[in-house]
Amino acid sequence: MIKKLLPIIFLSTTLWATEYAPWFSPLWQFEGRVGYTYSHTERVQSPSGSFTFTNNYHDLFTSLAATIWPEINLEAELAFVKSDTLPFSYETLTCTGRRLLWDEAAGDWISAVVGATLALPSGRILRDYNYAYHGYINAELHVALGKEFSSPCALDWSWRIWGLFGMGVAEKGSPWTHGIVTFDQALAHNISLTLFLETLFGGGGGNINPLQQPFGGYASIRHQTVDLGGALHYDMGIYATLTVLGYINLYAHNFTAHTFGCNITLLIPFGI
C-alpha cells in the first residue's frame, strides 16, 4: 500500500515536495523527491483594480527527507523556476522539522504532528505576483491531524482524512494563516487517489496597487486564495512512488486568479 502521498503547496500556487501529512516514514529511511510543475496565471485580483497577468511557470524541485528518530522527521528542499517573466534561476530553499505527538500505529486514536517550516526565497520571487512569501525569511508553525480507516480484511488503510493548520511570519510585514483539508482513497493495492482543498490568508491591511511596478510583495497585503486539487499515486514497491497532480484556483483576493497547474513527482525511498 502506498505510504507517502501528496506533494503539497507552500505559500504559492506552485506545487512541490514539502510533506505535511501526519504519518512518518520508517526510521532511517530516506526519501528523495524530484519533480516538475507547470502553472498558468490569467489575472491578478485587487479591489484597487484587477488586471491581466498572463504567465506560464515551470518549476523544478528536489528534496530529501528522513525520520531520524521514531518521533522526529526532517526535510530539506531546493526549487528553481523559469517563467515568461523570470529567467531560469533559484526559487527557494525550504527546511521543515516535524515531531510526532500521537500515533495510531502505537495505539492512539488519531495521528498528530507539530512542525515548523522555514522558506528562503530569492528577491525575484518576492516581486512576483504568483508567490505569497512575505519576506526573505518566512517561518511557519503548523499542526496536522489525521485518521486512517480500513475494511475488516485489509492489512492497511482503505481511506483516510487529514488536515493542517499553520500560522506564519516573516522578518517584515504581517502574519498569515494556512489551511489544508485532504481525503485519501486506496483504489487498488498500489494505486490511490487524493483530493485536497488549501487556503492561504495574509493578515495585512493593504491592497495590490496595479500602478505600482515592480510589485513590492505581499508583506503588507491582505491576500486570500483557495485552491482545489487532486492527485493519483502509483506505488512501484521498494523502488519509487509516482504522483501526478492537478489543481485549480477557486477564489482569489489580492492574488493571482483563474490559475491552474499540474505536477509530476517521483519519490524514491532508500535506507542506510
- Per-residue pLDDT tens over the stretch 24-61: 999 999 999 999 999 999 999 999 999 999 999 999 99
- What is the arithmetic mean of pLDDT over 193-220? 94
* 163 within a domain of the structure (yes/no): yes
pLDDT of residue 16: 47
> Which H or E element spans position 123?
helix 123-126
Say if CB 243 and CB 5 are below 8 A apart.
Answer: yes
Q: What is the pLDDT of residues 61-70, one digit of tens each?
A: 999 999 999 9
Residue 173 lies in a domain: yes
Residue 2 counted as domain residue = no
Residue 16 lies in a domain: no
How do residues 124-180 score in pLDDT, each as one tens digit? Answer: 999 999 999 999 999 999 999 999 998 776 668 899 999 999 999 999 999 999 999
Question: Given this model, what pLDDT does residue 38 score?
Answer: 96
CATH number at residue 192: 2.40.128.130
pLDDT at 222 over 80: yes
Using the predicted structure, report yes or no on whether residue 122 has a pLDDT greater than 60.
Answer: yes
Q: What band does 192 get if pLDDT is binned at 50, 70 and 90?
A: very high
Residue at 147 is within a domain: yes
CA-wise closest residue to 75 among 23, 30, 34: 30
3-state secondary structure of 165: strand
Domain tally, the chain: 1
For residues 255 and 85, what is the distance between their CA atoms, to the nearest angstrom?
17
- Residue 249 burial (10 A CB sphere; 0-12, 13-18, 19+): buried
pLDDT at residue 2 greater than cutoff 70: no
Q: Are strands 224-235 and 191-202 parallel, antiparallel or unpaired?
A: antiparallel
Residue 229: pLDDT above 80? Answer: yes
Q: How confident is the model at residue 206 (pLDDT cuts 50, 70, 90)?
A: very high
Q: Is the pLDDT of residue 17 over 70?
A: no
> What does pLDDT average to over the chain?
92
Predicted pLDDT of residue 18: 81
Q: Answer yes or no: is pLDDT of 1 > 70.
A: no
**Stretch 112-123: mean pLDDT:** 97
- Quote the percentage of the chain above a pLDDT of 70: 92
On whether residue 14 sits in a domain, the answer given is no
Q: Is 23 a member of any domain?
A: no
**Does residue 1 lie in a domain region?**
no
Confidence grade of residue 5 (pLDDT, cut at 50, 70, 90)? low
Is 105's pLDDT higher than 90?
no
Domain containing 161 equals 29-271
Q: What is the rounded radius of gyration, in angstroms, for the C-alpha atoms of the chain?
A: 18
pTM: 0.91
